A = this chain, B = another copy of it.
């Protein structure tokens, strides 16, 4: 009766897809929690609407594949270094309040006699409590949504860092996804080992693709697991031969007050090959990304005497261990051929400016002049690309228009001090080649490089490869550009200031014959 069916009437039991349940398919079709209909006929119109309870837990690929289609190649750059950068970002955040040296080690453990290929990123930062470690695993739990309303929360109610030059604030966590994306882009399984200063216990959590698959197969809760709490240096639980290297790694915990170690195993073979074969290339790329963190706000000016300050206490050390080979070890600060180092050290002069964007957005900018010297441009060639976008120097007049900067945009862009590698800005009105004849020859506009440093009021995409809308905001009509001289914003019109500066650079630094090409304007009456 309740089902609108009177006694003696025929009825059928169906699924919400209107499949009739019969004894043959009962076993297969009727599961816990499933909604069934009792109807007069399979195709009866529903007398009234029904509510069917559903669950839609994100698939575990949310974690396992999160990075897979995020780090894409652009202009010949293999994106692997950008996945490493996510882990270095986390270590920079974690060491922000360190009193002494901020030590970040990226170790490539490729010695087969010690186990399977692994990547470890280890820092001496604040570490995590078990609650924080638990939160690490929660996809999309960002510092902005974490609450501190109970004693076991991680107390990280977000406080915006104060303004610092070049926005080198170490505040480069944002979405609650970076670490997970990176580890699952690099490998198949990750062990997070961490110890906060407040406690003697080391906390350890393992996430792995295999484990997720197993849980799904056994119909266990997908997003449940165990944190292992143990005393430092205790590696009893490491029983697999594949992870033998962990014993010595865990022994190192001995004298550490606090630390975090991210250990990635199941590293894709293609990655291992790339990391081995292009060690110089990708370490240089990392040196480029963190240039201003490792060298300070002025960058790697090799002529300047290094001042001791808050900005040369970051050691980012990359090491690679292969069987029977001497380990390769490099501190990113020692790298001398990353793009920023080249730009800084070929520059004859700088033009500094600031852009104020609606809503607290502030961008610091530097434009550098790379003069023409006797027989060649000093503008550095683009080394970040594996393709040759810049043609080799030629005798032919064809290559003239590609001189110096060529087609490359002027500005590289840093967010909270860290390079966002795929966003560049071509130019601004004030520094673009003028439409009518300007004060200097057009070539001079091809001799400038530039850097933009934005604060956290600008947003980046989840993979930190691009800005969301930097250029749109900067090119907004309400954006205000001012020249900066000795740290002071000037009132004069920036267009004129820039043109004058460029003229001065040209006259002072270029060693060449001026206007070797211009022969006057001819009107072609025959066309």
Which residues does A use to contact B, with CB under 8 Å? Answer: 15-19, 25, 28-29, 31, 34, 43, 45-46, 48-63, 65, 69-70, 72-76, 78, 129-131, 134-135, 137-142, 145, 150-152, 175-176, 198-201, 203, 205, 221, 223-231, 234, 236-237, 374-375, 387, 389, 391-392, 394-399, 401, 407, 426, 433-437, 442, 459-462, 466-469, 471-472, 475, 512-513, 516, 518, 521, 524, 526-527
Contacts and interface: CB of A to CB of B under 8 A. Distances in A.
Given A69-B468, A129-B17, A137 B226 contact: no
Copies of the protein in its oligomer: 2
Contact of A72 (B43, B205, B469): B469
A2 to B, nearest CB: 17
A469 B70 CA distance: 11
Contact of A472 (B73, B467, B468): B73
A31 B230 contact: no
Nearest to A52: B227
Q: Which 5 residue pairs spanning A and B have beta carbons closest together? A: A49-B230, A56-B137, A58-B139, A401-B401, A61-B140
A45 to B, nearest CB: 5
A141 B74 CA distance: 27
A181 B394 CA distance: 49
Contacts of A176: 59, 61
A213 to B, nearest CB: 11
B78 A521 contact: no
Q: By CB atoms of chain B within 10 A, which of A398, A436, A513 has the most?
A: A398
A55 B198 contact: no
Given A228-B50, A435-B391, A150 B29 contact: yes
Nearest to A29: B151
A138 B29 contact: no
Nearest to A55: B224
Given A59-B139, A76-B471, A231-B46, A54 B151 contact: no
Contacts of A460: 69
A34 to B, nearest CB: 7
A173 to B, nearest CB: 13
Contacts of A76: 471-472, 475
Nearest to A137: B56
Q: By CB atoms of chain B within 10 A, which of A29, A140, A524 has the most?
A: A140
A60 to B, nearest CB: 8
Contacts of A225: 53-54, 56
A223 B65 contact: no
Nearest to A50: B229
Nearest to A204: B49
A74 B466 contact: yes
A60 B58 CA distance: 9
Contacts of A138: 56-59
A236 B48 CA distance: 10
A340 to B, nearest CB: 23
A212 to B, nearest CB: 12
B150 A198 contact: no
A226 B43 contact: no
Contacts of A230: 46, 48-50
Contacts of A62: 58, 62, 139-140
